[in-house]
Amino acid sequence: MAESVYVVNEIVGTSTKSWEDAAKLAIETAAKSVKDLRIGEVVKQDVTVENGKVTSYRVRLNVSFKYHK
């Protein structure tokens, strides 16, 4: 097995529907510009509240991708 190096970055996704949708949108958006995106790990979830109602969901993810020289 060849040795590999991976980069880990943090991204944030938001959605008015759900945490799952926020994560999916964040990963799909990152994958458009990041080559060899491998892993997405949810590290934090929170919501925005207005007038006592949840208005949006936010997910913080660590994503990793293969480092190329």
The domain ranges of the chain are 7-66
According to CATH, the superfamily of the domain at 7-66 is Flavin-binding protein dodecin (3.30.1660.10)
Q: What is the pTM of this model?
A: 0.84
User: CA 66, CA 69: separation in Å to the nearest integer?
Assistant: 10
pLDDT tens-digit map of 20-47: 999 999 999 999 998 889 899 999 999 9
* CA distance readout (Å), 33 to 27, 29, 36, 43, 51: 10, 8, 10, 22, 37
How many residues comprise the chain?
69
Residue 13 scores a pLDDT above 80:
yes
